[in-house]
Amino acid sequence: MSYYYQDPHFFWCESIEELKTRIETSDFVIYDQRLSCDIDCLKSDRSPNLFFAIQGGEFLKDLHQCYPIFNVLMQNPHLPPKPRFIAIGGGSITDTVGFIAAIYKRGCPLVFVPSTWLAAIDAAHGGKNALNYAGLKNMLGTFYFPNEIWFCRALFERLPSEQAEDAWAEALKVALIDSHSLYKKMCQTVQSSSSCQDGHTQKTPCIDLWPLLPDLIEAKYKIVRQDPYDEKKIRYRLNLGHTLGHIIESQRQLSHGRAVGYGLRFAYEFSKFENVLETELWLPGIPSLAELQQLLPQLNNLAHFLKHDKKHTKGIEFVFIQRPGQIVTRSISIDQITSFIKYLSHG
């Protein structure tokens, strides 16, 4: 079944004060408690603006963590019957609030204000909102698209450099999927940064992602517009690096961005092994083959986790790299993946 889809409205601003002008007194603002100082600037004398702090992090993506928010929704007399949700935070915040907005009274207006690079590049876009269940990633979820996404540069300028490093793998993934020109632009940005000594460093680059955001966001929406509800398997391309990345994230408690970095390296090596890759590529800031080989023996129950992969039907829809801008999705067996993991582990 097909549903109507429309891109969200984007609002770009430099300061927290500019965000304040967009918040209405009837909005339900849910934010990461680590942003409390910034949020204090948003609170208006025009109460009852409702601001509700929660602790961001992967543990938040659990159904039981939603109950306090449901209680506020049911008990607060200042909220309208169907408030507009405003989620300010990283990917765990947008996932959780997006999920709640989708199911509360069969859907409420939704605004995302990403406060991490990873959320700004990936999590805030595409309408996939999900919670984890039984130790498996994103098992409970909805397709529910935000009406608006607001980008505030001030929120990103205060982030530690590690946040940009964590988002790099997702940014490079999007560039590889989109085009040679965007991939080249990313590489040139790294080569001109101070963190790149010889043009071939594997160190994650410390660069300003803000100028790249419009291109990276548009690259993702090019795919989302073609297949907003995952009906045609076109969106499967966005899973590049995630088949193994999600397993690593779940088992090794790595950040999503770091885990996807390992997953992207695995997809690259698998593409070479299967003779899909047409030419050697530079993957700046991505874990090396040696680092991947060191991590793989630490993984267990791979067949179980792969069986529950959302792209698993008769086989796993694995995303291979042919060249920048040309991504190939093939159905392969779980045994093929586990066999290649064993091959790399003993390499």
**Residue 203 reports pLDDT greater than 60:** no
Q: Which residue has the higher pLDDT, 201 or 180?
A: 180
Q: What is the pLDDT of residue 208?
A: 85
**Residue 199 reports pLDDT greater than 50:** no
Are 152 and 18 spatial neighbours (Cβ–Cβ below 8 Å)?
yes
Write out pLDDT tens, residues 139-148: 999 999 999 9
Q: What is the pLDDT of residue 201?
A: 42
Q: Outline which parts of the chain fall under CATH 3.40.50.1970.
A: 9-157
What is the pairing mode between strands 9-13 and 28-32? unpaired
- The CATH H-level superfamily of 161-209+217-345 is Dehydroquinate synthase-like - alpha domain (1.20.1090.10)
Mean pLDDT in residue range 75-87: 93
**Residue 274 reports pLDDT greater than 90:** yes
**Residue 6 reports pLDDT greater than 80:** yes
3-state secondary structure 235-258: HHHHHCCHHHHHHHHHHHCCCHHH
**Cβ partners under 8 Å of residue 262, min gap 6:** 244, 245, 248, 254, 287, 291, 292, 295
Mean pLDDT in residue range 260-283: 97
Q: What predicted TM-score, i.e. pTM, was given to this entire model?
A: 0.91
Write out pLDDT tens, residues 134-177: 988 899 999 999 999 999 999 999 898 888 888 999 999 999 99
Q: Outline which parts of the chain fall under CATH 1.20.1090.10.
A: 161-209+217-345
Q: What is the pLDDT of residue 48?
A: 58
Place 2 in a pLDDT band, splitting at 50, 70 and 90.
low
Mean pLDDT score of the chain, rounded to an integer?
91
Q: Which numeric CATH code is attached to 9-157?
A: 3.40.50.1970
Write out pLDDT tens, residues 220-245: 999 999 999 999 999 999 999 999 99
